[in-house]
Structure 1
Amino acid sequence: MVAIFLQTLPFFAIIALGYGAGRTNFFSPEATAYLTKFVFYFALSAMLFRFAANLTLSDILDWQFVWAYLWATGVIYLLATAVALIRKLNVSEAAVEAQCAVIGNVGFLGIPMLVLLLGEAAVGPVMLVLTVDLIVFGSLIVILITGSRDGRVSLGVLQSVGLGLLKNPMIVSISLGLAWSALRLPIPGPMNAFLDIIGSAATPGALFAIGASLATKSAERLEVAGWLSFCKLVLHPAAVALAALVIFPVEDAYAAGVMIAAAALPTAGNVYILAQHYGVAPARVSATILVSTALSILTLSAVIAWVGPMG
């Protein structure tokens, strides 16, 4: 575990560097927003396209993998929702807390870290986890919040969700990469060099952006943040391990290990964006992201050390 911890330390050191830049206002919130936009729309998209263009749909899509991840994530999602409703929270707040409990920072932290630590073969399983998170649970929270406010789920809401997915650069870049691969088109040398150069900016840029954005997060309502962080860092990977290894055994042990590691990632920053957009418990989400990211320095290292031998 110590060896894995030392390997993950540089990633968290870059996050800490970004956090320091944000706290001292050397990197303003506006600068953080633009860096995040660059990583999201350009660097990470280039990295995902390049990865996907060297894979086929059959390399990525494994329905047993999908069912295992969906089952485990759904169980923790329902658990967090039930606890929220027992505390007399409304449906919107319960949906946001459930999202904190299961949606990890797969795009900005998971892809660069897991690919480097577990090998480039981790790309396929990580992209599949990312796709399920975006399509299923990214849509579910919007439907639950808008449906609870309007009293029904309108066609307009479903159209908005669909358009949001079609415009998401991560979904677009993965889809275009797979289409490029399906057409058996070679990537020209200059294009490959371009994708490699700009894609290489994704890892340091994303990690620095995570840290800088954490600098604006508050640590209020720590008891709730602690519970949701426990769900995300402990219960979620435990449920995924149970599903992938026992209930819906994934044939590829390596892929199962990558899925478990992906489930151990801290709460994603896009949950805060949604919470802020809809005005639902943004301070609670902010604290959860801060606490789960800090604790994941130890918990994520432990999980990666455990799943590493599966490869």
Structure 2
Amino acid sequence: MLPIFLKTLPFFGVIALGYWAGRTRFFTDEATAYLTKFVFYFALSAMLFKFAANLSLAEVLSWPFIMAYLAGSTIVYAFATIVALVRRLPMDEAAVEAQCAVIGNVGFLGVPMLTLLMGAEAIGPVMMVLAVDLLFFGSMIVIIITASRDGRVAPGVLLSVGRGLVRNPMIMSIGAGFLWSALQIPIPVPMNEFLSILGGAATPGALFAIGASLASKNAERLSVAVYLSTCKLLLHPFAVAIMALMVFPVEPYAASVMIAAAALPVAGNVYILAQHYRVAPHRVSTAILFTTAASIVTVSAFIAAVS
């Protein structure tokens, strides 16, 4: 495990540097917001497009892989929802806690870190995990929160969810990249170099932005945060591992990438949704803080185990 830990340490070192910059106000909240926007809309999109454009969707798309990840994640999602309801929480809060239990920081942390630690071949499985998170669970939380408040799912809600997915730059860049690959159009040299330069900013920019954004979050409701962190960092990867290794015939390397991706800390977009709908944002921010700090050890352990 020690060699893997030493390899992951620089990634978390950049996160720690961003946290220091945000905590000391050297990097303001406004600066963090603009850096996050740059990474999200430009750098990470360029990286994902370039990766997808050099892959074949037929080679990447694996229904056993998708079903294994979806089944394992749904089990944990249902467990977290039931625990929340037993604690007599309203349905919208239950949905937010369930989201914390299964949605990892695949875009900003998983894409750059896992492709470097586990090899360039990891990008296909990582993008499949990202697609399931965005398309299925990203839609699920909006539908559940809206339905719990209005008592029904109006057509306008589904339309809003669809528009949100279409406008998501990660989905659009992956889709555009696979379309480019399907058309079998060679990427021109100037365009390839442009994507390399812009995409090269994704890894340090994303990691620094994660740390800087953590600096503005407060730690509250520690007992719930510890429980949600346990669900995300331990229960989720174990459930996914059982589905991938024992239930569905997932290719071993792809299964190892899936398990490592499931071990990632809670994603920042869960906080954005919680803040937008005014549902337990402090609880989510604490879970993000806890899981990111603890994942220095747990992610290394899972990558070492699956390797």
TM-score range, shorter chain: over 0.9
Residues of 1 paired with 2:305 and 2:269: CA distance?
28
Which ranges of structure 2 fall in alignment gaps of 5 or more residues? none
Residues of 2 paired with 1:188 and 1:62: CA distance?
29
| Other-structure match for 1:256 | 255
- C-alpha displacement of 1:142: 0.1
| Other-structure match for 2:303 | 304
Alignment pair present for 1:269 and 2:268 = yes
SS of residue in 2 equivalent to 1:305: helix
Tell me the amino acid that sits aligned with residue 253 of structure 1: P
| Other-structure match for 2:217 | 217
Residues of 2 paired with 1:21 and 1:222: CA distance?
25
Alignment pair present for 1:155 and 2:126 = no
| Other-structure match for 1:87 | 87
Alignment pair present for 1:201 and 2:230 = no
Residues of 2 paired with 1:257 and 1:6: CA distance?
19
Tell me the amino acid that sits aligned with residue 16 of structure 1: A
| Other-structure match for 1:52 | 52
- C-alpha displacement of 1:220: 0.6
| Other-structure match for 2:294 | 295
- C-alpha displacement of 1:247: 1.0
| Other-structure match for 2:142 | 142
- C-alpha displacement of 1:59: 1.8
Alignment length (residue pairs): 307
- TM-score, normalised via structure 2 length: 1.00
- C-alpha displacement of 1:249: 2.5
Tell me the amino acid that sits aligned with residue 157 of structure 2: V
Quote the sequence identity (%): 70
The residue correspondences of 1:19-168 to structure 2 (distance < 5 A) are 19-168=19-168
Residues of 1 paired with 2:28 and 2:34: CA distance?
10
Tell me the amino acid that sits aligned with residue 268 of structure 2: G
Residues of 2 paired with 1:5 and 1:38: CA distance?
29
Tell me the amino acid that sits aligned with residue 49 of structure 2: F
Residues of 2 paired with 1:10 and 1:108: CA distance?
15
Residues of 1 paired with 2:270 and 2:113: CA distance?
20
Residues of 2 paired with 1:50 and 1:149: CA distance?
41
- C-alpha displacement of 1:248: 1.1
Residues of 1 paired with 2:278 and 2:5: CA distance?
37
Superimposed CA distance per residue, residues 31-54 of structure 1 (whole angstroms, 9 cap, x where no aligned partner): 000000000000000000000000
- C-alpha displacement of 1:60: 1.5
Superimposed CA distance per residue, residues 7-58 of structure 1 (whole angstroms, 9 cap, x where no aligned partner): 0000000000000000000000000000000000000000000000000111
Superimposed CA distance per residue, residues 180-200 of structure 1 (whole angstroms, 9 cap, x where no aligned partner): 000000000000000000000
SS of residue in 1 equivalent to 2:218: coil
| Other-structure match for 2:187 | 187
SS of residue in 1 equivalent to 2:256: helix
Tell me the amino acid that sits aligned with residue 279 of structure 1: R
- TM-score, normalised via structure 1 length: 0.98
Residues of 1 paired with 2:89 and 2:241: CA distance?
30
